[in-house]
Structure 1
Amino acid sequence: MLQEHIKQRNLKEIRLSCMKPSGIGDIKLRRKIWPMLLKVDENKDLLADWKSTIQPNEYTEIIQRDVNRSLFGLDITDPFTEEERLFKRTQLSNIINAVINKNPNLHYFQGFNSICTVFLLVGDEDLGFKMSYQCAELFIKDSMRKSFEEGVSLEMLLIYELLEKVDNKLTKKLREIYTVETNINSPMFSLSWVLTWLSHNIHSFDKLCRVFDFCLASHPLAPVYIAAAIIFIEKDSIMKCTDMPEIHQYFHDLVSHIDVERVCDQSLNMMATFNPNKLVYRSAKKFHDDSPLYFDCEFQDILKHLPRNNTVNWFVVVSVTVLILAISYALYDNLSFLLY
């Protein structure tokens, strides 16, 4: 069935397939599907002669330092010989520098190398560049602003917006710890998750590709939902932590072993319950007008076909019920006082 959707270029059904348990599950299919999700063909003229843009830029030294640390930490790269690793690093350096040079409005951040590594390993150098560039434009542009305050910091605040909807006590604890200890009103331990789509944290390449399936097929805000989902799933352990270092250590030890399917399922459930587009438009602080968060109109149709898990829905129902009962009791108590 998926092959038929690919043949017909039925993006809605392809996106829904990517968000189902296990995602695509095949690297050969990903080589076909990811470029479609990234609309590579729609920008083929701009992307065609990309190697002519491989030249030094203001970020080249930082890029090279990060590239020298890349192609490690994944089970698929563990068997690489040093020669293979150096060859792939050269390709990775070419890809990143070309992306930055192609669009002067894109600014390199440490972690972009991890995302580009995944695209390089799924495709080849040419396809890796095209997918990396399109991802930068269509998904992570807010992470590639001149400063984090213009984009990714605003996304981090939305993690609290989501968590407040499902567990106010958990959110209050995180706010208290981070506001008191750092004066930063966002859960910074999850910053790398949002920036790199967990590519800096997961050792299994298959599991990591599953996360990419989900992010590419859903909404540009997907990494924020993933971060919120991980925190929500681990809420019992977080509530036992007493300070910021303890929370950081807990997640440092945990994330490489997380249940990716459970995280994707929880993220999808949150998206179905708390619409990403509404979350963005209701944000107190606004993103740039060209933010990818404003332009995925097709996702509204995708949302209609998403399954709704009962975990968050029941939490909302119970919370509302408790609130109504509390108000009713208060009103009854006041009326009783007046009557007597």
Structure 2
Amino acid sequence: MLGSAGEGEARRRGQTVEAGLGGAQRVNVSFLLAELLGSKRKQKLLSIHQALTSDPVAVEALRGAAVSEGGLLTEEIRRKVWPKLLSVNVYNLPPRPGRTVCRSHKDHNQVQLDVNRSVRRFPQGMRAEQRQVLQEQLIDLVLHVLKAHPELCYYQGYHDIAVTLLLVVGERMGAALLEKLSIHHLRDFMDPTMDSTKHILNYLMPILQRESPRLHDFMLRAEVGTIFALSWLITWYGHVLTNFQHILRLYDFFLASHPLMPVYFAAVIVLHREEEVLACDCDMPSIHQLLSQIPQNLPYESLVSRALQLFQRHPHAELAKQAALQHHKSISIGSFAAFQLATSRQHPDTVLRRQQQDGAHAQDEAGAPLPTVTHSPLVKAAVWGISATLGAAALAVTQTALEWAPEFLLQLF
């Protein structure tokens, strides 16, 4: 598995060596660097595969892969790992969201307005008719979860999280993932009032105070508050970032972390821009305008690494005592320990698939089971290539590969 500084450190060392070499030598160093990074990628893929095929699933190893440098690497891997991070059985998904029923929901008009304004969240160059189909699915997905949980209140920005899930895993699995997120990580944002959301935002300033008293006091004097970070947290930065790969990297990180991690990430963004903030006029409009606009070229990997360090250095329980936040009961924070325990008891997909196939006679009208895997010559060649490239350790990992995920293995080459 890659460490938080693995690939970045390798690149830095390669660049340092290359600086003192001639042209031919630089080519050789670049080739060796590419080989090193490729090997690390293969090792990470095999580590993820091994975690997914363990029984029970090695969820801690998957979390480690999701937060380490590069995250989960590809959307295909995310389709395998995200459900495990949220304890979703992909062989027992809920029925496809029903359009007719959802249209009668009280929030339908507001959701439709928000989705209609979310054109930029879809891939550039997508044909209008394709986007319209996805937007209809997005509306149904959001309303499906709200209808299933009347205690949850829709908020503007919720659809930004839903669209990311839809684009990666599709409508049916997206509904299952969104439901789990809504009753756990996002639960405080879905109360009838803003009290719980304000409570989550209030963790930001104590982190800044501990890391940079000078910056904290400057922002306090300016009375800027924390509202500049509201859209960051409630959309998991999906509304404010334009690069979809950056959004996916953060979703890997947040799905594998404590519900307060987006707050810690907000803190590292502010700390990263400390000199810009201190160069502003000490007033609310100036600082709010600066901070509410996130630069699109942030060093995401180093910020993720720093957020992890802050989370360990400043536990949220200590922050709550410092800011007298313990008087408000956070559902997201309070339910997280039980949620983590549930994720540790999952079977791998091979077992879940056998269970689903054994109960095929009881399948509902929602659709056929997910297709079984076929063994193509290309997949067999991929398995042989793994053993040749990484040796005996890879053979142990790939014993069940053919019946698990051939498309995953092909990413090794």
Q: Give the TM bin, normalised by the shorter chain.
A: 0.7 to 0.9
Distance across 2 between alignment mates of 1:82 and 1:103: 32
2:223 is matched with which residue?
A: 178
* 1:295 aligns with one of 335, 339, 351: 335
1:63 deviates by 0.7
1:73 deviates by 4.3
2:203 is matched with which residue?
A: 158
Residue 69, structure 1, aligned to residue 109, structure 2: no
How high is the sequence identity, in percent, across the aligned residues?
25
Residue 82, structure 1, aligned to residue 128, structure 2: yes
2:86 is matched with which residue?
A: 38
Q: Which amino acid aligns with 1:129?
A: A
Q: Which amino acid aligns with 1:41?
A: N
Residue 191, structure 1, aligned to residue 230, structure 2: yes
2:98 is matched with which residue?
A: 51
**Comparing 274-283 with 195-204, which one deviates more in the overlay?**
274-283
Distance across 2 between alignment mates of 1:56 and 1:261: 43
1:1-340 matches, cutoff 5 A: 1-8=47-54, 9-41=57-89, 44=92, 47-48=94-95, 50-51=97-98, 54-73=102-121, 77-149=123-195, 151-178=196-223, 186-242=225-281, 243-280=283-320, 284-286=324-326, 289=329, 291-297=331-337
CA RMSD of aligned residues (A): 2.5
Pairs aligned (count): 291
Distance across 1 between alignment mates of 2:90 and 2:334: 19
Distance across 2 between alignment mates of 1:289 and 1:187: 20
1:50 deviates by 4.7
Secondary structure of 1:200's counterpart equals coil
Q: Which runs of 4+ in 1 moved over 2 A?
A: 41-45, 47-58, 243-257, 276-283, 285-290, 295-301
1:328 is matched with which residue?
A: none
TM-score by length of 1: 0.79
* Contact residue 111 and residue 200 of structure 1 kept, 8 A: yes
* Contact residue 219 and residue 276 of structure 1 kept, 8 A: no
Secondary structure of 1:297's counterpart equals helix
Secondary structure of 2:120's counterpart equals coil
1:245 deviates by 2.6
Secondary structure of 1:255's counterpart equals coil
Secondary structure of 1:6's counterpart equals helix
1:287 deviates by 7.0
Cα deviation, 1:270-311, whole Å, max 9, x if unaligned, reads 01111234435665234765612123338999xxxxxxxxxx
Distance across 2 between alignment mates of 1:162 and 1:43: 41
* Contact residue 71 and residue 117 of structure 1 kept, 8 A: no
Cα deviation, 1:79-120, whole Å, max 9, x if unaligned, reads 111111111000000011111111111111111110000000
1:44 deviates by 4.9
* Contact residue 189 and residue 251 of structure 1 kept, 8 A: yes
Distance across 1 between alignment mates of 2:251 and 2:64: 14
Distance across 2 between alignment mates of 1:257 and 1:55: 40
1:24 deviates by 0.7
Secondary structure of 1:257's counterpart equals coil
* Contact residue 229 and residue 292 of structure 2 kept, 8 A: no
**Comparing 101-110 with 49-58, which one deviates more in the overlay?**
49-58
Secondary structure of 2:98's counterpart equals helix
1:217 deviates by 0.3
Q: Which amino acid aligns with 1:224?
A: V
Q: Which amino acid aligns with 1:267?
A: A
From the superposition, tell whether residues 195 and 287 of structure 1 become closer, same or farther in structure 2 (CA, over 3 Å): farther
* Contact residue 202 and residue 257 of structure 1 kept, 8 A: no
From the superposition, tell whether residues 72 and 300 of structure 1 become closer, same or farther in structure 2 (CA, over 3 Å): closer
Distance across 1 between alignment mates of 2:136 and 2:193: 27
Distance across 2 between alignment mates of 1:99 and 1:299: 19
From the superposition, tell whether residues 50 and 64 of structure 1 become closer, same or farther in structure 2 (CA, over 3 Å): closer
Q: Which amino acid aligns with 1:156?
A: L
2:401 is matched with which residue?
A: none
Distance across 2 between alignment mates of 1:35 and 1:168: 40
Secondary structure of 2:337's counterpart equals coil
**Comparing 162-171 with 111-120, which one deviates more in the overlay?**
162-171
Distance across 2 between alignment mates of 1:292 and 1:283: 18
* Contact residue 108 and residue 144 of structure 1 kept, 8 A: yes
1:244 deviates by 2.5
* Contact residue 241 and residue 296 of structure 2 kept, 8 A: yes
From the superposition, tell whether residues 281 and 117 of structure 1 become closer, same or farther in structure 2 (CA, over 3 Å): farther
* Contact residue 141 and residue 175 of structure 2 kept, 8 A: yes
Distance across 1 between alignment mates of 2:269 and 2:297: 12
1:69 deviates by 1.1
* Contact residue 185 and residue 259 of structure 2 kept, 8 A: yes
* Contact residue 178 and residue 187 of structure 1 kept, 8 A: no
TM-score by length of 2: 0.66
